[in-house]
């Protein structure tokens, strides 16, 4: 074996070519260049104060509120559809019996309530979708929406008389309370006021 053999593990290492300028660490004037490994350093994107920092992740309580909004939307749409079908069926029966003119006003009110549930379901979906990149307007709308849900839950709780309306009031209070609590803390303020590029 000779020292010139490149496959000799005990021989001197082969000479490396000098590093190209711009790769590795920047060279200081008057300091001899050193071997640097790796990729060239990439400049940060303009407008990002931390260079190539990862985007902010949505806080956990906000994710929970978002999921609850989607679940609430499913219930609201389901109740709206069931109410609309039930009111339509009752109106058809009353038309068949001959009292359709007398119940027309009640059917209109029933359809209005069904449409209100469908609209609230659509609002819940809209707010949940906008959590990802919405601003402080989405946060304020969600605060008002959850406060009105708490008010409605309290009305159901008081007027329910121990029946299903009382149970629905308790569920509504719990869901709206979690959503409201997630919107008024500092993590929500930071999330909705973060810079967006």
| 8 A C-beta contact, residue 23 and residue 36 | yes
Q: Residue 177 and residue 64: Cα distance in Å, rounded?
A: 12
* pLDDT over 80 (residue 60): yes
Q: What is the mean pLDDT of the chain?
A: 78
pLDDT band at 180 (very low <50, low <70, confident <90, very high): very high
pLDDT band at 81 (very low <50, low <70, confident <90, very high): very high
Angle (deg, nearest 10), helices 136-159 and 164-183: 160
Of 32 and 92, the one with more pLDDT: 92
Q: Residue 57 and residue 115: Cα distance in Å, rounded?
A: 36
Which range (20-34, 45-59, 91-105) has the least confidence?
Answer: 20-34
Q: Residue 33 and residue 17: Cα distance in Å, rounded?
A: 12
Of 113 and 97, the one with more pLDDT: 113
What pLDDT is recorded for position 99?
67
Mean pLDDT of 97-122: 82
What is the CA angle 192-138-193, rounded to 5? Answer: 15
What pLDDT is recorded for position 22?
52
* pLDDT over 80 (residue 75): yes
Helices (H) and strands (E) in the chain, counts: 5, 0
Angle (deg, nearest 10), helices 136-159 and 104-130: 140
| 8 A C-beta contact, residue 37 and residue 24 | yes
Which 8-state DSSP code applies to residue 2? -
What pLDDT is recorded for position 29?
62
Q: Residue 157 and residue 175: Cα distance in Å, rounded?
A: 14
The rounded radius of gyration (Å) of the Cα atoms in the chain is 32
Mean pLDDT of 163-188: 86
Mean pLDDT of 18-43: 56
What pLDDT is recorded for position 108?
83
């Amino acid at each position: 074996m000779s020292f010139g053999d490149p496959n000799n593990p005990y021989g001197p290492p082969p000479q490396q070519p000098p590093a190209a300028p711009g790769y590795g660490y920047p060279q200081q004037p008057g300091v001899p260049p050193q071997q640097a490994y790796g990729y060239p350093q990439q400049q940060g994107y303009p407008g990002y104060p931390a260079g190539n920092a990862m985007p902010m992740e949505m806080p956990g309580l906000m994710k929970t509120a978002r999921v609850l909004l989607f679940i609430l939307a499913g219930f609201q749409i389901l109740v709206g559809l069931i109410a609309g079908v039930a009111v339509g069926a009752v109106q058809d029966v009353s038309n068949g019996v001959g009292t359709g003119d007398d119940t027309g006003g009640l059917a209109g009110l029933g359809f209005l309530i069904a449409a209100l549930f469908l609209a609230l379901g659509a609002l819940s979906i809209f707010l949940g979708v906008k959590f990802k990149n919405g601003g402080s307007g989405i946060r304020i709308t969600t605060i008002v929406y959850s406060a009105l849900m708490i008010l409605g839950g309290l009305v159901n709780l008081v007027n329910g008389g121990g029946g299903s309306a009382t149970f629905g009031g308790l569920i509504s209070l719990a869901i709206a309370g979690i959503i409201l609590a997630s919107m008024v803390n500092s993590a929500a303020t930071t999330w909705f006021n973060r810079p967006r590029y």
